[in-house]
Amino acid sequence: MAEIVRENGRVVFTEAMREAYTILVPHMAPYHFDLVINAARSEGYKAELLTTDDYDVIHEGMKYAHNDICVPAMLVIGQFINAIKKRSIDVDKTALVLVQTGGACRASNYISLLRKALIKAGYPDVPVISLNAGGLEKNPGFNVTPRLLHKFHDAILFGDMLMQLVNQTRPYEITPGETDAVHKDVVDDLKAYFNHRTLFTWRKHKRQTKTIIGRFKRIPVDRSQIKPKVGIVGEIYVKYSPLGNNHLERTLEQEGCEAVTPPLYDFFLYSFDSRVYDIKTYGGPRKEKLALKIFVWYVEIRRNKIRKMMRKAGYEPGIPYKAIKRLTQGFIDVGTHTGEGWLLTAEMIDLIRHGAPNIVCTQPFGCLPNHIAGKGMIKKLKKHYPESNIVAIDYDTSASKINQINRITLMVSNAKRNLERKIG
């Protein structure tokens, strides 16, 4: 066991731990985090993705987190503690990693809540690594080098594309299971991609993107039956995590719909852009503002190229970040950026305008920012876009799954009726 070093009460992830420790990663966004793990492993980290989603996870979360705290925190904490307790992992060689936004929302406190829960559960020496863009905590054994950052960037780009390709193919596949099989093969193949040692690999990325699109394109599909498109928006964890939203994408597909989940990268761009807004409005380092603006610009150049390739192959890749931001005009101020803030409203408008007026707005129970920018905007959106068909669903550890399904089914039957009327 490596020597335990503490700093301000927290356990530091030291150089000595880097090779020996397994870093557990919570299952937030399945399409993306499979690839994030590959990226981390290619840089020498022993990273492992947690995929458990049974009741024990919820039970541990409720036991070790206060019941007033946000559902995503409860589920993430529950998944970590459940993994440590249930599996034969060596707790003396285990570390945990969590993304820390540093924003005004409670998400910034998840790290301290997790540390508190670990002490309560009897694991005070397990280091928790904070993954953040603001240099909030330093861990000498975990360095986000430019190359690792670049690989994470590639992982999110590929993850977004895979999510769109799967969602636009699976509801129409002729042989059940074929899309999932292709998805799995692509993730396996991408392991080799992340072993690159250079920084700027756009040519390689482009070739890889083309190959992936081609593999999905070859899946035999039957698109003769038009299915209603249903958008999924909401708080970042319950929007993407099957554990958080009770496998919402699958539920919608079983109900005869095509799920449309907006790209994860939009959330990161929104977070960086929000920091730019704050520096402009309240003051702050000009160098940081410039660096963030350049980063957003760079990511958009890359995303534009991917969008072009997807569109050429007949897929719908979504619209640029700037266009999403413009949609807020007349609805919500871009200064509203706690939680998912204005991005949530803009995503709903984008979905309504681009063929998916049916929307599930996922909300962790008691999540104030998202009740304002999500549920709180529904009335205004309905007034402006009468064709919109939005249902807000609360996700809570004690919420009734049947109740959630009933409300989704009602929204879907309206969606089907509206579609029939539209196509005559």
Q: Which residues bind ligand SF4 (CB under 6 A)?
A: 70, 72, 105-107, 235, 339, 364, 367-370
What φ, ψ does residue 381 adopt, rounded to 5°?
A: -65, -40
Residue whose structure tokens are 């409005």: 281
How near is the Cβ of 111 to ligand SF4 at its closest, in Å? 12
Q: Which of 330, 278, 322, 316 is nearest to 301 (CA)?
A: 322
Give me the least distance between CB of 281 and ligand SF4, in Å please.
21
Q: Over the range 327-347, which residues count as b (16 or more CB within 10 Å of their CB) and which as e? A: bbeebbebebbbbbbbbbbbb
If the CB atoms of residues 105 and 324 are measured against ligand SF4, the closer one turns out to be 105
Minimum Å gap between C-beta 181 and ligand SF4 is: 34
Q: Which is nearer to ligand SF4, 162 or 238 (CB)?
A: 238
Closest to ligand SF4 by CB, 357 or 369:
369
Name which of 63, 139, 74, 81 is nearest 107 in CA terms. Answer: 74
For the bound state, the minimum distance from the C-beta of residue 364 to ligand SF4, rounded and expressed in Å, comes to: 4
